[in-house]
Structures are given as C-alpha cells and as structure tokens.
Amino acid sequence: MSTLRNFPLEDINSVTNNFASVIGEGFLGKIYEGQLSRRGESIDVAVRRLDTSFCLQEVAFDKEISVLSQIEHPNIVTIIGYCYEKNEMLIVSERVARGSLKWHLSDPKVLTWERRLQISIGVVSALSYLHNFSVIHHNINCDSILLDENWEAKISGFEYSMTIPAGGLDLAYEKLGTGTYKSDVFSIGIVLFELLCKREAFHSEVDGSFQASSAMFQYENGKLHEYVAPGLYSQMDKKSFNIFSKTAYNCLNRRAPPTMNQVLERLERALKVQQKHENNVRPNF
C-alpha cells in the first residue's frame, strides 16, 4: 500500500509551472506535465486536474485515490500524491514516457507483433491482479493503457473503477454484465482486436477504424486476417495469430467469457509460440 503525499496547491503550481503544458485530456479533465524533486532527484510527473463542471468529480477523485493507494503492480501506473484545495482536485502520478497505446497502434514497425503480445500480457496481468483483489477497472481502452520507455504497458484511468462487496453484486448488475468482471473481459477483447487490426474500434469509417462486431463476423467466417495490415500479418506465426484471435473473440462472448486468468494463460501461450517461431527464422551468423 502506497503512502500518498498531500501536496499544497502552491507546490502543484510550481511542479506544473502554473499548468503550462497539457499532455493529455480525458472526460474528467486535462493532464499536465510537471517535474518533481524526490529524494534529491528530478522526476517527470503527470498531474490530472479534474474538471470542476463535472458533477461527480469528487466521487471520481476519491475513487481513483482509494484504489491506486492500495495496489501495486508493475503494469499499473504509480500514484505519488494528490491535492484537494480551493476547489481544485488534482492527482499526481508517474509520467509514462510514450503516452497512450492509441498513439502507436498504426505502426507495425514500432509495435511489432511480439511487442503487441507483450503489451497485451502486461495489461491482462494487471487486470487479473485487480480482479484477485475484487477490483473492476471499468475503463480499459487504448487511451487508459500507457506505454513506458521500454514499451511496457501500464494501465491508468481508475476513476470508474469499483470494488466488489463481500456479499457480491446486485442481481441486476449480474444480468446486465455491467459492473462485473465480465465488463473488463469484454473491454480487453476490444483492445485485443485493436492490437490485431492496429486501429481503434467504435469510430466512424471515415477515420479508418473498424467495428468490433465486424471483426467478430470476419473471425467467424475465417477472414479475420484480411483485417490485419500486411506489414503486421507477415510477422505472425499462424498458430500465434490463431490463439490470439480466438482469445479476443471469446472475450466478446457476453454469456460465457473466459476469466482474466484464462485470458492471461492463452496470451502467454501465443507469445511463447511466436518467440519459438522467431528463433527458428532468425538467421544464425
């Protein structure tokens, strides 16, 4: 469990140079870059400034701090502290060097197939960890998945998270599949298809994105490979592709989806197969 620092607003103003540089923006507000001195070293931080016009900002603020202060995992962003002063609600966390996954989806040279497998495993490992602690993330997408300097995934965006009570969820939630572990599994299925097809889902066709339902249809008809860019598909071992695509498809099965632990096992198998393939095709000098 992390011990969080309660920053005075004056310190936050100094850290962000009076909120001079925006590095991101979400539904709840803007994210600013900053530099903080800690243990004699200067570290880069991200400061999320909650939008005061958002009616549930205090709930979201408390929820994110509550969850992130109690968990620790290499694939979950590290929270450093917070500030609640003069109607300002600010959350200070480590700055993750390469930003969100969505910025890099379209480049198969930077995000190779092996790297995409490693990213998906990192995300699912973090979600599996959360589920073991009865926490549902509820906001997994290519925006809330960040990449560090080594292309390791770190999940953020915990303002919508919820903790399952000891007595379980209300039956209505269970029937809807919202606010349950299944909602995270469904979301990771979307992300897996996005990694596979190297573009975001649920946007208009104008921007070159795709509908997850179309990807499912193509999978069912044995034509999913047609959705994958040639530069990425040529890197894939066929068995690795099959394991990964079947896993993504099964995650979108709302009635009987796999558990997050099962998703993790299957993705690790897909990576193992891919690495064996790459070792076999790599030239020996």
- What tokens does 203 get? 């946007």
- SS3 state at 166: coil
Residue 273: is it exposed, middle or buried by C-beta count within 10 angstroms (0-12/13-18/19+)? buried
Residues 210/197, Cβ–Cβ less than 8 Å: yes
> What's the confidence (pLDDT) of residue 172?
40
Residue 19: is it exposed, middle or buried by C-beta count within 10 angstroms (0-12/13-18/19+)? middle
Q: Where are the alpha helices (DSSP H) in the chain?
A: 9-15, 57-68, 113-132, 171-176, 181-197, 212-220, 230-233, 238-251, 260-281
Dmax (CA) of the chain: 65
User: Buried (b) or exposed (e) across 189-200, using 16+ Cβ within 10 A?
Assistant: bbbbbbbbbbbb
The CATH number, out of the four listed (1.10.510.10, 3.40.50.920, 3.30.9.10, 3.30.450.40), of the domain defined by the range 101-278: 1.10.510.10
pTM of the model: 0.88
- Looking at the chain, which residues constitute the CATH 3.30.200.20 domain(s)? 5-94
Note down pLDDT in tens along the chain; length 285 residues. 557 899 999 999 999 999 999 988 877 789 999 999 877 788 899 999 988 777 777 888 888 888 888 889 999 999 999 999 988 999 999 999 999 999 999 888 999 999 999 999 999 999 999 999 889 999 999 999 999 999 999 999 888 888 876 555 544 444 444 568 899 999 999 999 999 987 766 544 444 445 677 888 889 999 998 888 888 999 999 999 999 999 999 999 888 999 999 999 999 999 999 999 988 876 554
- Looking at the chain, which residues constitute the CATH 1.10.510.10 domain(s)? 101-278
Query: Rounded to 5 degrees, what are φ and ψ at 232?
Result: -90, -40
- CB within 8 Å of 231: residues ≥ 6 apart: 108, 109
The CATH number, out of the four listed (3.30.1280.10, 2.70.70.10, 3.30.200.20, 3.20.20.120), of the domain defined by the range 5-94: 3.30.200.20
Q: How far apart are CA 274 and CA 276, in angstroms?
A: 5
